[in-house]
Amino acid sequence: MLSRISIIGGGLAGSLLAVYLAKRGMKIDIYERRGDIRRYNLVGGKSINLALSARGIHALKEIGIYDEIRKITIPMYGRMIHSLDGATQLLPYGKDNSQYINSVSRAELNKKLISYAENFHNVRFHFNMICSGIDLKNRYIFFGEHPDGTGTEYDIAIATDGATSQVRMEFQKIPGFNFSQEYENYGYKELTIPPDEYGKHKMEPNALHIWPRGSFMLIALPNLDGSFTCTLFLANHKSFGGENSFEELDNESKLKNFFLKNFPDAVPLMPGFVEEFFANPLGTLLTIKCYPWSAYGHTLLLGDSAHAIVPFFGQGMNAAFEDCTVLNECIGKYEYNWEVIFNEFQKIRKPNTDAIAELARENFVEMRDRVADPRFHLMKKIEAFLYSRYPDRFVPKYTMVTFLRIPYSVALERGNIQEKILLQLSESVTSPDEIDMNLADELVNEKLTVLDYREES
């Protein structure tokens, strides 16, 4: 029997999920804490840009909106590394220009998804509805400042209300519910490189720019208006980062000296960085894990409410969109037996979201530190060579995560094996031509099975 579905949270995952469910003929009510973002401009400062890749693209294609979304994306073909002396080097993401990630505005993507969802007669958005709690046993959602405020009953509820999920807080009262929340010692501030006088980008637009500085970094993603959204990732406290910490940068003089010392080529491009730095909020970085995601067979956590991760693999949104894809597949397989659907969904997704959480943390070290190391560049060349020689066995970890829809858990496991192979083969060599090919054949064929995958179109 078709159910009436209440989705708590009208962000990216919630609005995309609404379309999946609407296409199955269900009646959907989406309760969103904010006003309608199509009616006002969001203030910058937090989580403006996202990296859309294969898993997210697949979901957008399935619901029929990818061609429209593609119009608001900018392809990025690699990492543009900015050295301290101002030199730059492009490290391609894939084997050729057919493999790239897409810079997209979170707000613009959300607007498109909301408008698309509203085209379905069985979808209704309710804005300015702040969920203040949920009665899981009696299927009742509370709105407003107090639990005894206004509310609504529900048949099936799916919480896509993010890392600070109010619904998940109620789950924590259920015996046997496991929850962990771990903050990084790092925070972030968003800044801007405005367009030039002609409205054009001041740097290469088709790249993700990185200023890696060992224990911290600055990154920049392109926008359609010719600007770049920059993010400074830095230790929060002096006890952890010393002078390279947000705590230390407490006045204009210290901030200017810090940027001139560490990002001298970026300073001329960012005329308003001082004002933005002190005006924009300090963002936090955390990993959330919990289980089970389903309660009483009728309420489910999905996306960041179930598995928030740090942003360093660009997979937060893509993982949430893949949640929607998998949940839709489970509905098709088990029709409308929601308890079975939710149990199967969490069983499939939990190992994979745990894996991407670990991968994202690993990639932070790679982005802020290893990409500036010549040895890392050599290993990337060897990795590309092995991929071309053994395309069905040695698939780079980044490729598995970003350009294919191989389960994250498989990408993590195989990536760890491949890292050991790379370390062994790169010992005492200065180029891929010097690799011991007999040893390469032996290691790859012995340690890696044939990987069943197809390239994403």
Please write down the HEC assignment for all residues of 114-178: HHHHHCCCCEEEECCCCEEEEECCCCEEEECCCCCCCEEECCEEEECCCCCCHHHHHHCCCCCCE
> How many residues are given for the chain?
457
pLDDT at 370: 78
Nearest by Cα to 289 from 365, 350, 363: 350
Residue among 352, 305, 304 nearest 171 (CA): 305
DSSP string of 370-423, one letter each residue: GGG-HHHHHHHHHHHHHHHHSTTT---HHHHHHTS---HHHHHHHHHHHHHHHH
Strands 217-222 and 228-235: antiparallel
**Spatial distance between the Cα atoms of 331 and 407, rounded to a whole number of angstroms:** 19
Say how far apart CA 216 and CA 208 lie, in whole Å.
16
Query: Looking at domain 4-40+106-181+286-363, which CATH architecture does it have?
Result: 3-Layer(bba) Sandwich (3.50)
DSSP H stretches of helix in 269-315: 273-279, 304-307
CB 32 within 8 Å of CB 9: yes
Max Cα distance, the chain (Å): 71
| Per-residue DSSP letter, 237 | S
Looking at residue 387, its pLDDT comes to: 95
The domain spans of the chain are 4-40+106-181+286-363, 373-447
pTM as predicted: 0.94
Cβ neighbours for 417, distance < 8 A, ≥ 6 positions apart:
447, 448
Q: Give the per-residue pLDDT at 48.
A: 61
Q: How confident is the prediction along the chain (457 residues), in pLDDT tens digits per residue?
A: 567 999 999 999 999 999 999 999 999 999 999 999 999 865 454 556 899 999 999 999 999 999 999 999 999 999 999 999 999 999 999 878 889 999 999 999 999 999 999 999 999 999 999 999 999 999 999 998 655 568 999 999 999 999 999 999 999 999 999 999 999 999 999 999 999 999 999 999 999 999 999 999 999 999 999 999 999 999 999 887 778 999 999 999 999 999 999 999 999 999 999 999 999 999 999 999 999 999 999 999 999 999 999 999 999 999 999 999 999 999 999 988 999 999 999 999 999 999 999 999 998 888 777 777 888 889 899 999 999 999 999 999 999 999 999 999 999 999 999 999 999 999 889 999 999 999 999 999 999 999 987 665 4
The pLDDT of residue 457 is 47
